[in-house]
A and B are shown apart, each in its own frame.
Chain A
């Protein structure tokens, strides 16, 4: 049997996939609060933007985050169309290291103009030792590894904040995976 081909998410996904975020009258199944920061003192915030090949911020992307470290399974989804700076924002906790791997989040990226979604990962800048010996990071060309690493105290400026920007093209093009 042949796989069903992918098609673009298009520009009009929000009232079905992220309805409450975009203020449509339909209940959201998932959102960007993967853990409630008031209940988890160790909660982190990840913010970022998605850029096209001319360095314009993309205001109609949808980002999904999946994390599973064997202990917590968390899923989040957020569109870049409601923040005044077209950012995505996620509240979660940092996953644990599994089998000595550096902790990471799986990222799935959808947007108009992508006929098939992209996969990436978010690693963390304050996990230097684990990042240095991580098998996946080491499988990536050295100069491109930084595109996978969220910077602590980035755009949010808070002690639990990380910044992770996604570049679809250009010299900083994010590493996308075939998984």
Chain B
């Protein structure tokens, strides 16, 4: 293990800490240069989540919070693969998601947007990738919602994702967007990503995973930080 060094964040695609158009970054972004740390045992390991704790419908947001009926909105399937920069799939890693409902309202108590809550939709889910790094969620397509960053600011439709990967260098929290969303060109959170990285945050419509008479399919793959091992070296 001591020979393995993980790549750093690729700053060609990751957003900076400070992006003044996204106003909350102004007082919350570190201003001093990061201190480069030699990776040691703690960085080269991370929490391992067995699937023993996951509920039967944790991956199915259309079912995991039903009270008295089905959630409203357009059912979708979101699937893809988690891998690292070397192209190696990352199996058995935890993915957690959260999102607004079809009206653009979050369950979170802080969300004051005057759009209806859905009694049958929480908007939280999670799953483990399978042995080949694949994951799949069923959910409802999230709505756009207004926020206070600037006058008439609206977030594009998006699903929040949290991933762990091989170790804590791989930790990633991000947002998946939908193809063709006209709000993307106005969104300072999305636009904080350098141009080279932006397309990587947009899912692709996928007819092959679309379920007839049930749900539209979208594909979204994740690439986490890789390492200096060749693809065939023992890790």
CB contact list, A79-137 vs B, under 8 A: 98, 101, 104, 106, 108, 110-119, 135-136
| Nearest 9 pairs of A and B residues by beta carbon | A113-B24, A16-B98, A16-B124, A113-B28, A75-B47, A115-B15, A53-B27, A12-B108, A5-B197
A168 touches B30 (CB 8 A): yes
Contact indicator B126/A24 (Cβ below 8 Å) = no
**Residues of chain A within 8 A of B64, CB atoms compared:** 26
Q: Which of B68-76, B164-172, B211-219 contacts A (4 or more CB under 8 A)?
A: B164-172
Which of B17, B42, B85 is in CB contact (< 8 Å) with A115? B17
- State whether A17 touches B41 (Cβ < 8 A): no
Contact partners of B7 in chain A: CB under 8 A: 3
- Asked if A68 lies at the interface with its beta carbon under 8 angstroms from chain B, I say yes
Q: How many A-B residue pairs have CB under 8 A?
A: 233
At the interface, yes or no: A42 with Cβ under 8 Å from chain B?
A: no
Known: A66-B47, A115-B15. A11 touches B189 (CB 8 A): no
**Prevailing SS type, chain B contact patch:** loop
Given A5-B193, A6-B172, A108-B168, CB of A101 within 8 Å of CB of B29: no
Q: Nearest chain B CB to A27's CB is how many angstroms away?
A: 7
Q: Which of B14, B53, B198 contacts A29 (CB 8 A)?
A: B53
Q: Which residues from chain B contact A106 at a C-beta distance below 8 Å?
A: 42-43, 168
- Whether A3 pairs with B171 at a CB distance below 8 angstroms is no
A167–B96 alpha-carbon span in the complex (Å) = 28
In the complex, are the beta carbons of A9 and B160 less than 8 A apart?
yes
Cα A104 to Cα B168 with chains together (Å) = 15
Q: Which residue of B lies closest to A167 (CB)?
A: B30
B37 touching A178, Cβ below 8 Å: yes
A4–B26 CB distance below 8 A: no
Q: Are B200 and A4 in contact, with the CB atoms below 8 A?
A: yes
A149, chain B: closest CB distance, angstroms: 15
Q: Contact flags (1/0) for A2-27 with B, using CB distance below 8 Å?
A: 11111111111111110100101111
Q: Which residue of A lies closest to B96 (CB)?
A: A16
Query: How far does the alpha carbon of A60 sit from the alpha carbon of B123 in the complex, in Å?
Result: 19
Q: Does A45 contact B (CB under 8 A)?
A: no
B131 CB within 8 Å of chain A: no
